[in-house]
């Protein structure tokens, strides 16, 4: 029987990447007097690496190798990322990043049926809490697994294994919601079934391992279908 829904955050609960995280990275670069500017299309390529700190490091290696690296690169990236997190929260507090269609309805229906809900994300915890505080309620989520809580980020399955362990459930008792290939890989490797809702950055990715691929969760009878577990076999 279905016991819990596990949600990815970025791209799944809300379209946070293009006009959220991306802008916050650029604001942090600007404040640090770096001339880097991540366009919408470059950012799409950088999204192949999950995690903000990991993404900055990847950018330096692959797109900006001529940049003279400071001696303590890890610390430099951590500080830059911290500043990005502050800018991101400022963006969220302006209320311009709403939930995707159907998300709230599905979560409310799950709760009303006693189905447990959890989060598995690569994003930093303060970012997730800021979004949930504005749009839902963080206390609804029994487990919020975020950021560096596991060292190996998606597409590694670790974050999903962590959530399963905390919930005390087996993969067959849960259903995952993701928006990206690397998120789907992480969940699949943990033995979990996944529904994918695509967005502009992910719509051409390979989702053959998903049990269902949708444009969004707004479809009329989807919440009840999900909760009844009709999709799981």
DSSP state letter for 61: H
With binding defined as CB under 6 A, does residue 197 bind ligand XBP? no
Please identify the residue of the shown chain whose CB is closest to the bound ligand XBP.
Answer: 52
Instruction: Candidates 15, 29, 91, 127: give the one binding ligand XBP (CB under 6 A).
Output: 127
Residue 51, binding choice from Mg ion, ligand XBP, none, Cβ under 5 to 8 Å by partner class: ligand XBP
DSSP state letter for 149: G
Rounded to a whole number of angstroms, the minimum distance from the CB of residue 199 to Mg ion is 9
With binding defined as CB under 5 A, does residue 10 bind Mg ion? yes
> If DSSP codes are grouped into helix, strand and coil, which group holds residue 47?
coil
Contact map string, positions 151 to 190, toward ligand XBP, x by CB under 6 A:
---x-------------------------x--x-------
> If DSSP codes are grouped into helix, strand and coil, which group holds residue 221?
coil
Cβ closest to ligand XBP, residue 11 vs residue 223? 11
Q: To the nearest 10°, the Cα dihedral for 110, 111, 112, 113?
A: 50
Question: Of the candidates 109, 138, 121, 32, which has an alpha carbon nearest to the alpha carbon of residue 77?
Answer: 32
- Is 10 labeled as catalytic in the residue annotation? yes
- Is 8 labeled as catalytic in the residue annotation? yes
d(CA 64, CA 46): 12
Catalytic residue IDs: 8, 10
């Amino acid at each position: 029987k279905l016991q819990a829904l596990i949600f990815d955050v970025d791209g799944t609960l809300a379209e946070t990447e293009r006009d959220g995280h991306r802008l916050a990275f650029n604001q942090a670069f600007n404040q640090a007097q770096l001339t880097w500017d991540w366009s919408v299309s470059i950012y799409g390529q950088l999204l192949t690496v999950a995690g903000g700190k990991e993404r900055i490091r990847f950018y330096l290696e692959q797109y900006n190798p001529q940049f003279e690296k400071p001696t303590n690169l890890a610390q430099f990236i951590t500080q830059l990322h911290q500043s990005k997190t502050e800018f991101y929260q400022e963006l969220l507090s302006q209320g311009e990043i709403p939930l995707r269609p159907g998300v709230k309805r599905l979560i409310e229906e799950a709760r009303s049926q006693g189905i447990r809900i959890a989060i598995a994300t690569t994003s930093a915890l303060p970012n997730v809490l800021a979004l949930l505080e504005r749009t839902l309620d963080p206390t609804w989520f029994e487990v919020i697994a975020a950021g560096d809580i596991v060292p190996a980020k998606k597409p590694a399955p670790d974050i999903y294994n962590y959530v399963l362990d905390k919930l005390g459930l087996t993969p067959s008792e849960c259903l995952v919601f993701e928006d990206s290939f690397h998120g789907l890989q992480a969940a699949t490797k943990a033995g979990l079934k996944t529904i994918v809702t695509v967005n502009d950055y992910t719509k051409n990715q390979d989702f053959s391992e998903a049990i269902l691929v949708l444009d969004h969760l707004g479809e009329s009878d989807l919440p009840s279908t999900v909760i009844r577990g009709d999709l799981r076999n």
